[in-house]
A and B are shown apart, each in its own frame.
Chain A
Amino acid sequence: MQLSLAHHPISEIQFGVPARLEGAVLIVDPATLRRMILEDESIVSVDFDIARPGERCRAGPIFDVIEPRAKAPGCGADFPGILGAPITAGIGTTHVLTGAAVSVLAEISPDPTRSATGRVLEMSGAPVEASEYSSLQHLIVIPHTKPGLPRQTLEKAYRLAGIRVAVELARSAWNHLPVDLQTFEPVGPGEKGRDGLARVAYVGQIFSRQRKPAVDEPILYGANTDGMLPVMLHPDEWLDGAVVPSLHSWFGGTETYFYQNHPIILELYQRHHAREINFVGTVATIAGSDNFDRERHCRAAANLVKWNLNADGVVLSKYGGGLPHADLAETARLLEGMGIKTSVMVSDVSRDRRVESALLFNVPEVDAIVYNGGNGKQWQVPRVDRVIAATPEFVELLTGPMTIEASNIVGVTNQQGASRMRAMVY
């Protein structure tokens, strides 16, 4: 694998014709994007808006956040398996509009019983320091879907609209020299010249079978993961569009942006480059629907780490709600039993904010735990000048002033390792 990320820093997004990149200013032509999006017959109309850091502006509910990226011509497929053939991601040059984001709005809350607002993008005020998204230049995509569509159909339409726009924007950079070209040192179980360094791998859940995926739900190279066993991925595949969140994950804190900028993989790369570790690879796995399912996946994931990657240590992360904690802990337990050290990252599901309710597993070997917070933190946010939403109801709901849960601000309770909100034990 030889992924090169050609970075083009973006300091401003403007509407204009034709679409182009002028230095650090990205000029976006809404008409072109509209024509492209309306090819999807689920979407009847689409609006665009821009949200800038520091602006008294709020947008929501956010369905997904995507970094604008496009493969250089002849270098492979963008979001392979979704927008093109499922050829291997992570090879060749990918242009990146660094500092920019495409954020897709939904017309409904993901789970009205838990959150009327869904996840909100805040561009000003106290919450901005807790979410990396608040410091990006956002092109907001506001699709209006045909009434009466089943939920998964409209979610799929949102997903496709978002990634298509993200790719189209980044193609503006095709003919520009990047400001920075980021490359990664080789990673793999057999890389030479790293003798004596700790062999470290990553095992990440990409789906939880608490819910059966839709037949056409794209998750891994366009596949819905049904019937899948854990699979080895090169870290660059994660970074380059092989994996997207499931259609139903926009409440749980997993966004396309942090697969493209996977905090755990980038952290391991950094240590790899500093020769602190030998990063030997990654395994993508899923949380099972029952005990047999769990047993199969956990064992297969642990076996890949042991027999294919020959790792000495593993970091693990979960996907989805409470149940996947069991799969996470069981995989770590199996690894520890093979003599492989582990640390795991979990999300706060305590509800009553008590230590006794905090962990959904009781496995003595799983003793190195990163505990993400967010469930018990609220912010008072003021009335803002501008609300970007798909419906008048959401405009009214989001105008403020209001109290908003940290978990309802996109990027705060992220499950991919981006969160700086920690639940401390008092």
Chain B
Amino acid sequence: MDVGARHAVPVLTPVASRLVPYPEEFNMRIAHYLNQFFGGIGAEEHAGKGLEVRDSAVGPGRLLESLLGNDARIVLTLVCGDNYAVEHQEEITASVMAKVRQANVDLFVAGPCFDAGRYGMAAGALCRAVQAELSISAVTAMSEENPGVDLYRDALYIIDSGTTIANMRNVLDKMARLSRKLVTKEPIGLPHEEGYLRRGWLRDQLVEKKAATRLVDMLLAKMNGEPFDSEMPPTAFAPIPMPAGVKNLSRAKVMLITDGGLVPRGNPDKIEGTAATRWGSYSIEGRDDLRAEDYEVSHGGYDTRFVQEDPDRLVPLDALREMEKNGVIGKLHNEFISTCGRSNPLSNTRRLGREMAEKIKRDGVDAVILTST
């Protein structure tokens, strides 16, 4: 469902009158971002409208303001069409940032966006920019399926809005509570306690039950068909398409890469033996064999004695030279790349892989043999 397309301008219970008038000084000044639909401009036919600015709460902002409490006020509402926001992201971000900076706010709120994809993507991008560059707390809300979630969940608190606009009040209530904590720098609880979507961060905490008890509890619940909470959600990764095969290996330039930590003696690039942040490329020009005395291994995760005895066991230069001579491969690239794969987080290995791939492309390599340990 796309909120922008299917519905008319929402009718929200207006907050008719405050019990207490606004105080002179507001302790919490808020900027609020809405799409054209929730901002009261119109439905999908207005999705191309550019950024408009109001100096008070609009639509769901009114309820949000009242839920935030008497000392809070939305001093800036930014409304933009969904298409315009996505198609002109840089421009919108720049103008929103300028206006938010000028308004001197304590909090930036976007949405709730429910499952409106373009709205969610714009809200996420703006929240992240405001939070990162202006150091202003930001909160948004989306349904778990909103494409904005996967893009921004690690950077932002995104309240789980579900897909039903009827839950608006409940969603705004959670946004208000979390916002307050963020602004007053109170500790933020677990996702299910606060209602935000899991950000994917790990934090250590002492718990009452020791691991053995939790382990047996979980098994018994599972055996009894009762619900149980695994302490770690399953890992899912986007599939990586299989690259096309090498058309003609006898003409290909082949390179050897290893994550087994083989480095020239002295480890010139100081590649760490655990969670390496660096990689190195080392010449094998004119050599048919890697000699033990020239190399060492920077890797603490396997028994390295056999590689130390004969580095060709990890980086099989001898075998590849043979294949080069016999015409099985066209040419062996004159350098090999090495890093250490031990306990290396993905946030790190993605970068290492990208950097290596850039070099490999630059060097005109056609195929890589990756040896791991």
Interface residues of A (CB under 8 A from B): 111, 113-114, 129-130, 198, 200, 209-212, 263-264, 266-268, 271, 276-277, 289, 312-315, 317, 321-323, 341-346, 348-359, 361-362, 364, 367-377, 406, 414, 416-426
Which of chain A's residues have a CB closer than 8 A to the CB of B216? Answer: 200, 264, 267-268, 271, 315, 343
A323 to B373, CA, bound (A): 10
Q: Taking the nearest CB of chain A, how far is it from the CB of B309, in angstroms?
A: 13
Q: Taking the nearest CB of chain A, how far is it from the CB of B251, in angstroms?
A: 32
A129 to B206, CA, bound (A): 9
* 10 cross-chain CB contacts under 8 A: A200-B219, A263-B212, A271-B216, A351-B348, A353-B201, A355-B198, A355-B202, A358-B232, A424-B190, A425-B191
Are A341 and B207 in contact, with the CB atoms below 8 A? Answer: no
Are B206 and A130 in contact, with the CB atoms below 8 A? Answer: yes
B212, B214, B231, B234 pick with most chain A CB within 10 angstroms: B212
Which of chain B's residues have a CB closer than 8 A to the CB of A416? Answer: 212
A64 to B233, CA, bound (A): 34
Which of chain B's residues have a CB closer than 8 A to the CB of A420? Answer: 206-211
* Cβ contact of B235, chosen from A362, A371, A421, cutoff 8 A: A362
- Is B344 in the interface zone, CB < 8 Å from A? yes
Q: Taking the nearest CB of chain A, how far is it from the CB of B227, in angstroms?
A: 11
* Cβ contact of B220, chosen from A277, A352, A362, A423, cutoff 8 A: A277
Are A419 and B211 in contact, with the CB atoms below 8 A? Answer: yes
The residue of chain B having its C-beta at the shortest distance from the C-beta of A362 within the complex is B235
Q: How large is the interface on B (under 10, 10 to 19, 20 to 34, 35 or more residues)?
A: 35 or more
The residue of chain B having its C-beta at the shortest distance from the C-beta of A340 within the complex is B223
Which of chain A's residues have a CB closer than 8 A to the CB of B275? Answer: 351
B211-244: CB near A (< 8 Å → 1, else 0) gives: 1111110111011100010111111110000000
* Cβ contact of B201, chosen from A200, A268, A421, A425, cutoff 8 A: A425
A182 to B295, CA, bound (A): 57
* Cβ contact of A358, chosen from B190, B202, B224, cutoff 8 A: B202
- Is B303 in the interface zone, CB < 8 Å from A? yes
Which of chain A's residues have a CB closer than 8 A to the CB of B303? Answer: 209-212, 289
User: 4 smallest A-B Cβ distances: which pairs?
Assistant: A417-B212, A352-B345, A263-B212, A373-B204
Q: Taking the nearest CB of chain B, how far is it from the CB of A259, in angstroms?
A: 13
Q: Taking the nearest CB of chain A, how far is it from the CB of B344, in angstroms?
A: 7
Q: Taking the nearest CB of chain B, how far is it from the CB of A260, in angstroms?
A: 14
- Is B11 in the interface zone, CB < 8 Å from A? no
Are B215 and A426 in contact, with the CB atoms below 8 A? Answer: no
A264 to B216, CA, bound (A): 8
The residue of chain A having its C-beta at the shortest distance from the C-beta of B157 within the complex is A426
* Cβ contact of B218, chosen from A343, A352, A355, A362, cutoff 8 A: A343
Which of chain B's residues have a CB closer than 8 A to the CB of A426? Answer: 188, 190-191, 198-203
A289, A350, A406 pick with most chain B CB within 10 angstroms: A350
- Is B346 in the interface zone, CB < 8 Å from A? yes
Are A356 and B346 in contact, with the CB atoms below 8 A? Answer: yes
Which of chain B's residues have a CB closer than 8 A to the CB of A111? Answer: 300
Q: A355-B201, A356-B346, A423-B205 are in contact. List 18 more A-B contacts (CB 8 A).
A: A198-B220, A264-B215, A343-B216, A346-B232, A353-B202, A356-B200, A356-B237, A356-B347, A357-B347, A359-B234, A361-B235, A373-B204, A374-B204, A376-B202, A419-B211, A423-B202, A425-B198, A426-B202
